[in-house]
Structure formats: C-alpha cells, structure tokens
Amino acid sequence: MNRSKAACKTYYETVHRSFRYTQPENTLRAEAAKHSARSRARRKRLLESRQSVLAHEEVELWKSATVDLMSDEEDGIVGGWIVRPPSFRRPDLSELCVKLQSRLEATPKYRATHSRRLHIGPASERMLPVTSNPEEANGQFTEL
C-alpha cells in the first residue's frame, strides 16, 4: 500500500507543478527550471561520454567527478558549443577533462554525432553545489 501511496503523491506533485508553471506569474520560473534541467542533462551525458574513454591510471581521480563538475555548454553562434568550465573545479580534474575530451573528439563516431566545441567561454557563473556534509564533497572542489 505504501508504494501506491507514494506513486500517487509523486504523480500529484508532478501535475501540480505543471499546473503552477502554466500560470502567467510563473513563466520565468518555468523557463529557468526547463533550462536548468536541460543543462544538467547535457552535463550528465558529458560525464558519461568522458568516462567511456578513461585510462586505467585515471580512474582514481575520475571517482571525484560528478555532474556538477562538468562544463556548461551553450549554443554558439558559429555552429558549435561555447564551453564554460565551472570555476570551482579542481585544476587536476580540469586537466583530466581536457584530455578525455580530446580523446572523445578523436573518435569518428563521437565527431559524427556531436557539434564542435569552442573553447572560448569564460568560467561558468554556476554556484558551488551545496552539500549537507562537507565530507561528502570528497575533496572534489577547489578552494575559492
């Protein structure tokens, strides 16, 4: 019975949120939520793609990588992506991300299905993720 109650509650919350976002006073909030979800999905795909080209000796450092540490990518005007790495990502993890990305771009299958990345963007303005426990951060962020 608890599962069905939880499913009903989740469905209600989804329908209610959708209704709230259709109201004129919430259009900006709805657009921001949609943009945030789209960006997070892109970062998740980027994390998974990079993980697929890891070398054995890079696995330990990569364990600290999370979706929040992947670069933001925005549509560029000239047919590619503007890449904006997060300002709080550790330098050694940033170097590894650059290596993994160059390996990905050397793969014909990846190049055929992904737009060119333009590395001209400034650091992302995204805020450092909030964790309830500092130990959970696992040393993955640089000190600001």
Chain centre to alpha carbon of residue 16: 26
Task: Give this prediction's pTM.
Answer: 0.68
Among 112, 91, 111, smallest CA distance to 101 is for: 111
Per-residue pLDDT band for 143 (boundaries 50, 70, 90) equals: very low
In this prediction, residues 7-17 reach a mean pLDDT of 91
Do residues 76 and 58 touch, judged by C-beta distance below 8 A? no
pLDDT score of 118? 62
Q: How do residues 17-70 score in pLDDT, each as one tens digit?
A: 888 888 888 888 888 888 888 889 989 998 999 999 999 999 999 998 999 999
| Beta sheet of 80-84, edge-to-edge order | 72-75, 80-84, 116-118
Give dist(CA 94, CA 120) in Å, integer: 15
Q: How do residues 90-136 score in pLDDT, each as one tens digit?
A: 999 999 998 998 899 888 888 788 766 665 666 777 777 775 444 44
DSSP character string of 68-90 = GGSPEEEE-TTSEEEEE-BTTB-
pLDDT score of 131? 58
Which residues, other chains included, contact 113 with Cβ-Cβ below 8 Å and sequence gap of 6+?
A: none
